[in-house]
């Protein structure tokens, strides 16, 4: 598949075909896992031309690799970006992107509910190089706009957030970022390119923890950032020196996982919506958070900026807090109680142990994270089985309290 096909292929078609053709060899229909660390040249002129970038090709595995390149191209085409570069993990994508552009004295404006590691980067590490981070209440667009208007280098968003699935209006914030010449970076991990296109909404860079939905099988770590070539080139350069390279075998697993991205995510969105509705009917459930629910604070924004669904992740608070969660979760049959999300298996985790493990009880309270909050990443099991599983676990919980 090439970029200039006459009718623009859909996201499902791109997930299957995009980015692969240039890397195929021996008439194979699948991208090879090229494990070679270095690439040999007998022609010294050719070697030199490739090394200085005058000719395409590979020199050394920390810089580029054909399997990794296929992965980057597939994500790039899914995000409809000009360029992409990849990383060993999602956090490497985030930190390399931020460190490429900030200099001492700069300011970063973001939200309070970003992913735990991202939050740590802002609160613990950037101050070491004299970069100030201002974190606004998530969903408070006026506060964000006011802080951005004071001037900053990077505006960093994540929407929906984890685990409270709060929403920020990307298009609206893109306008204020542009007005002060700041780069708008959006973590699209939870929404995926199936449900949200941050670049089309005005973001400069979109990034992913490919570990989650892109890979989808919880068997490979990876990260990726997409945007214009003039922004991706310096990030690639920082990464090739910094060394947080995606391994070829992991690139292959992620590529293979991505073939079913659309099928998985559509099913997960559908099921998540229905699980959210089901949870609302449970008297042991205190609150349910899902952007697809009409009563969600920013449902209208989510409906405007997301497409195809509202994502496969939701959260709910059980009455009785962690004590109840400790009875409920081990009782579930079709469930991994684990720290990841976006896998084909339904995965549950208490916010206290996963996204907000570093916070004290008071801090969680201040962030509006109930002690009994459970994050649920809905898998691709049959929906009646997911619901029946929850049903028997709630019945058991009721008999215990």
Ligand X SMILES: *Cc1c(COP(=O)(O)O)cnc(C)c1O
Residue among 14, 112, 212, 262 flagged as catalytic: 212
According to CB under 6 A, which one of 121, 173, 190, 232 is a site residue for ligand X? 190
Name 193's Cβ contacts closer than 8 Å, sequence gap at least 6. Answer: 11, 75, 78, 79, 261
According to CB under 6 A, which one of 18, 50, 91, 183 is a site residue for ligand X? 91
> For the packed helices 321-331 and 383-400, what is the interaxial angle rounded to 10 degrees?
130
| Residue 87 Cβ vs ligand X, minimum distance, rounded to whole Å | 8
212 labelled catalytic: yes
Rounded CA-CA distance 37/59 in Å is 8
Residue 83 is a binding residue for ligand X (CB under 6 A)? no
Rounded CA-CA distance 348/336 in Å is 6
Residue among 99, 115, 213, 289 flagged as catalytic: 115
Name 199's Cβ contacts closer than 8 Å, sequence gap at least 6. Answer: 79, 80, 81, 206, 226, 227
Residue 107 is a binding residue for ligand X (CB under 6 A)? no
107 labelled catalytic: no
Nearer to ligand X, 23 or 197 (CB): 197
SS3 83: strand
Nearest to 157 by CA among 139, 175, 142: 139
115 labelled catalytic: yes
Residue 193 is a binding residue for ligand X (CB under 6 A)? no
According to CB under 6 A, which one of 119, 153, 212, 262 is a site residue for ligand X? 212
Nearer to ligand X, 69 or 347 (CB): 347
Structure tokens at 95: 């930190």
Residues 150-179 that bind ligand X (CB under 6 A): 158, 162
Residue 187 is a binding residue for ligand X (CB under 6 A)? yes
| Residue 80 Cβ vs ligand X, minimum distance, rounded to whole Å | 21
According to CB under 6 A, which one of 71, 101, 115, 289 is a site residue for ligand X? 115
Rounded CA-CA distance 268/30 in Å is 27
350, 356, 361, 363 alpha-carbon torsion, rounded to 10°: -150
Structure tokens at 116: 């735990």
Q: Which residue is nearest to ligand X (CB)?
A: 90
Rounded CA-CA distance 68/316 in Å is 37
| Residue 116 Cβ vs ligand X, minimum distance, rounded to whole Å | 8
Sheet of 373-377: strands edge to edge?
A: 285-289, 313-318, 373-377, 347-350, 336-337
Residue 89 is a binding residue for ligand X (CB under 6 A)? yes
The contact mask relative to ligand X for 219-248 (x = CB under 6 A, - = no) is --x-x-------------------------
Residue 113 is a binding residue for ligand X (CB under 6 A)? no
| Residue 117 Cβ vs ligand X, minimum distance, rounded to whole Å | 5
Q: Which residues are at the interface with ligand X (CB under 6 A)?
A: 89-91, 115, 117, 158, 162, 187, 189-190, 209, 211-212, 221, 223
Which residues are annotated as catalytic?
A: 62, 115, 187, 212
């Amino acid at each position: 598949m090439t970029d200039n096909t006459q009718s623009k292929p859909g996201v499902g078609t791109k997930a299957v075909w995009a980015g692969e053709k240039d890397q195929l060899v021996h008439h194979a229909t699948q991208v090879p896992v090229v494990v070679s660390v270095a690439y040999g040249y007998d022609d010294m002129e050719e070697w030199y031309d490739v090394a200085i970038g005058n000719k395409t090709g590979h020199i050394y595995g920390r810089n580029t690799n054909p399997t990794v390149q296929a992965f980057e191209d597939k994500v790039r085409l899914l995000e409809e970006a000009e360029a992409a570069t990849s990383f060993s993990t999602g956090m490497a994508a985030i930190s390399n992107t931020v460190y490429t552009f900030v200099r001492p004295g700069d300011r970063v404006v973001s939200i309070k509910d970003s992913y735990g590691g991202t939050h740590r980067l802002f609160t613990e590490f950037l101050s070491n190089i004299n970069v100030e981070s201002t974190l606004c209440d998530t969903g408070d667009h006026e506060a964000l706009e006011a802080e951005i208007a004071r001037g900053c280098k990077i505006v960093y968003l994540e929407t929906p957030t984890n685990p409270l699935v709060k929403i920020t209006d990307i298009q609206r914030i893109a306008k204020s970022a542009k007005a002060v010449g700041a780069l708008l970076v959006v973590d699209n991990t939870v929404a995926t390119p199936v449900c949200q296109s941050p670049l089309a909404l005005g973001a400069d860079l979109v990034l992913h923890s490919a570990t989650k939905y892109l890979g989808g099988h919880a068997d490979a770590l990876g990260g990726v950032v997409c945007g214009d070539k003039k922004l991706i080139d310096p990030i690639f350069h920082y990464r090739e020196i910094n060394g947080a390279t995606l391994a070829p075998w992991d690139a292959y697993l992620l590529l293979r996982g991505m073939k079913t991205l659309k099928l998985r995510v559509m099913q997960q969105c559908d099921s998540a919506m229905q699980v959210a509705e089901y949870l609302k009917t449970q008297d042991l459930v205190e609150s349910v958070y899902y952007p697809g629910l009409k009563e969600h604070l920013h449902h209208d924004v989510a409906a405007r900026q997301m497409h195809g669904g509202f994502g496969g992740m939701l959260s709910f608070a059980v009455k009785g807090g962690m004590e109840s969660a400790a009875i409920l979760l081990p009782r579930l049959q079709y469930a991994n109680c684990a720290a990841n999300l976006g896998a084909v298996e339904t995965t549950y985790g208490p916010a206290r142990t996963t996204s907000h493990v570093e916070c004290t009880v008071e801090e969680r309270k201040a962030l509006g994270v109930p002690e009994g909050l459970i994050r649920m990443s809905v898998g691709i099991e049959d929906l009646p089985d997911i619901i029946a599983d929850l049903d028997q676990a709630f019945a058991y919980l009721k008999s215990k309290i």
